[in-house]
Amino acid sequence: MKEFKQSDAIQRLPEQFFAKLVKKVNEAKQLEGPEMINLGQGNPDQPTPEHIVQSLQQAAEKPEYHKYSPFQGFDFLKEAVATFYKREYDVDLDPESEVAIMFGSKTGLVEVSQCFLNEGDLALMPDPGYPDYWSGVALANAEMKTMPLLEENDFLPDYTQLDQETLERAKLMFLNYPNNPTSAVADRAFFDKTVELAEANDICVVHDFAYGAIGFDGEKPLSFMQVPGAKDVGVEMYTMSKTFNMAGWRVAFAVGNPSVIQALELIQDHQFVSLFGAVQEATATALLDSQQCVEDLVAMYEKRRDILVEGLQEQGWHIAPPKGSFFMWMRVPEGFTSESFADDLIDKARMVVAPGIGFGDYGEGFVRIGLVNSEEQLKEALNRFEAYKNQMDIS
């Protein structure tokens, strides 16, 4: 059978590291032994709150939603986004010019590079970071300059390490706080520096606020849009996946700089005809109704965090309590790489963690552990970590 050659753009896409991990896990599952505990995933384990599901069910019966939706989304959803940001962050948004509806934030995070990068342009990229940032840059045939996220800098990029030539070439900067995979959070001082740097060098900041609702110890994560000048230099992307357990619904939005919003809507005009209207109505319900479900969700993650962190620390593992997101970033034992340690846990403890190298070169030496498992599974995971540590005589 004839084999057709892929385009240069497709061939530029980075290797999907985690597809290899999934293959390893599936092969290991075929072997005899206890049930595999997957701590490497980032897929919320709780169902979408009932009132949001009911809103979808009722809206699906409306004939007006059985036709094509408006290309750029219904006005009522954009208005709900603006109301949500005003209530949660005291940020004023113009629903018409400062809000874009997206098919999940992954879509927007890939599209934004195609909107603003030409061949030879440069994007500033956190390392470690979410691998799909790289995909959009590759499709645009642009280049990346990594910004190391180091433990000694609280996993925030050090802008003083960027030389002037890099700053002059850079067109985009990707940030993500609370951070995946390190679970770090950003403070006002850091975002102030970001605005100053972006303003001085004409860099568009793209802040991925996927875990914006998930902060611990009574601290609410800061929105980039709360910082004076942020709207002038960039956008923030917010997904419904983590805050409302709507991962499978594929709905998100971008807010901020009108020129970026316009470009995102333009590229989506050519690729999509907006979301099913009933999904948009249910999303508005989630944003506007009681947020008790969100508070309960954050409390659940914090309890899981405490169980796992306290247990691992008692056993002598090197891990700090995360301040946000539903991930933990743990150092691997001496003598292991992140991948060899992850492989060893699969083989000897029937547990899956995500190797840090999959998130970039500076992820080496760490593994990511998710909090999207039940308390019962996490306690069993602690038992397996302890048995593994004793077996391997790890200090």
Domains in the chain with CATH codes: 8-47+293-392 (3.90.1150.10), 50-288 (3.40.640.10)
Residue 340's pLDDT is 94
- Taking CB atoms within 8 Å and a gap of at least 24, the contacts of 27-32 are 28/346, 28/347, 28/350
Residue 394's pLDDT is 66
Residue 111's pLDDT is 94
DSSP, collapsed to helix, strand or coil, labels residue 170 as: strand
- Counts of helices then strands in the chain (DSSP H, E): 15, 12
pLDDT, averaged in runs of 10, over the chain (395 residues): 88 79 76 83 91 97 93 95 98 97 92 93 96 91 96 96 95 97 96 97 97 95 97 97 94 97 93 90 97 96 96 93 95 94 92 94 96 95 93 71
Q: Check if the beta carbon of residue 269 is closer than 8 Å to that of residue 71.
A: yes
Q: What are the distances in angstroms from CA 237 to CA 174, 297, 310, 316, 352?
A: 11, 21, 33, 37, 29
CA 117 to chain centre: 21
Residue 27's pLDDT is 78
Beta strands in 110-191 (DSSP E): 122-127, 143-148, 170-175
pLDDT in tens, 328-380: 999 999 999 999 999 999 989 999 999 999 999 999 999 999 999 999 999 99
Provide the whole-model pTM: 0.95
Residue 30's pLDDT is 75
Dihedral in degrees, nearest 10, Cα atoms 379, 384, 386, 392: -170
Phi, psi at residue 100, to the nearest 5°?
Answer: -125, 135
pLDDT in tens, 208-231: 999 999 999 999 999 999 999 999
Residue 241's pLDDT is 95
